């Protein structure tokens, strides 16, 4: 399923979506960036409450399909621009990491 279809199905708020047609193949939940680096797979929807610059770098390096910021976390304008420039899809949701993870899993 594409990132855009996933976002629509889960009513995620798009913060930036430079690559709406990326395929979502799996999911990963984590906030410790080194742990995410070691374990998230290419094509995953990465669910996290972290929203600093390094999140964009980790998303680029792990080649995840999108980042879903849970628990109402969002990105400031500068970070949105950075994510856009690096081709990283980022969404926000009020749901908890667990709740959104369960919904992503049910859809895949």
Partner 1 sequence: MAALTFHYDVDGQDFSSAGEASVAVKKKLRQLGFPSDVIRRCSIAMYEGEINMVIHANGGTADVLVEPEKITIILEDHGPGIPDVELAMKEGYSTSTEAIRTMGFGAGMGLPNMKRYTESLEIETEVGVGTKLTMVVKV
Rule CB under 8 A: which residues touch partner 1? 31-35, 37-38, 42, 50, 52-55, 57-58, 60-63, 86
Residue closer to partner 1 (CB basis): 7 or 56: 56
CA 7 to chain centre: 10
Least Å distance, CB 108 to partner 1, is 21
CB 81, min distance to partner 1, A: 13
3-state SS track over 49-101? CCCCHHHHHHHHHHCCCEEEECCCCCCCHHHHHHHHHCCCCEEECCCCHHHHH
Select 52 or 74, whichever has its Cβ closest to partner 1: 52
Q: Tell me whether residue 42 or residue 74 sits nearer to partner 1 (CB atom).
A: 42
Please, what is the minimum distance in Å from the beta carbon of residue 87 to partner 1? 11
User: Do β-strands 13-16 and 90-92 pair in parallel, antiparallel, or remain unpaired?
Assistant: antiparallel
CB of 11 to partner 1, least distance (A): 26
Nearest to partner 1 of 85, 105 (CB atom):
85
For residues 33 and 40, the answer to whether their CB atoms sit within 8 Å is no
Backbone angles phi, psi at 5, to 5 degrees: -65, -40
């Amino acid at each position: 399923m594409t990132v855009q279809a996933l976002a629509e199905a889960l009513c995620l708020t798009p913060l930036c979506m430079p690559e709406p047609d990326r395929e979502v193949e799996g999911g990963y939940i984590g906030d410790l960036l080194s742990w995410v680096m070691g374990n998230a797979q290419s094509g995953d929807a990465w669910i996290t409450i972290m929203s600093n610059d390094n999140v964009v770098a980790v998303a680029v390096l792990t080649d995840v399909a999108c980042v879903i910021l849970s628990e109402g976390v969002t990105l400031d304008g500068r970070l949105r621009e950075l994510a856009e420039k690096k081709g990283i899809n980022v969404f926000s949701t009020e749901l908890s990491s667990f709740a959104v993870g369960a919904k992503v899993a049910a859809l895949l």
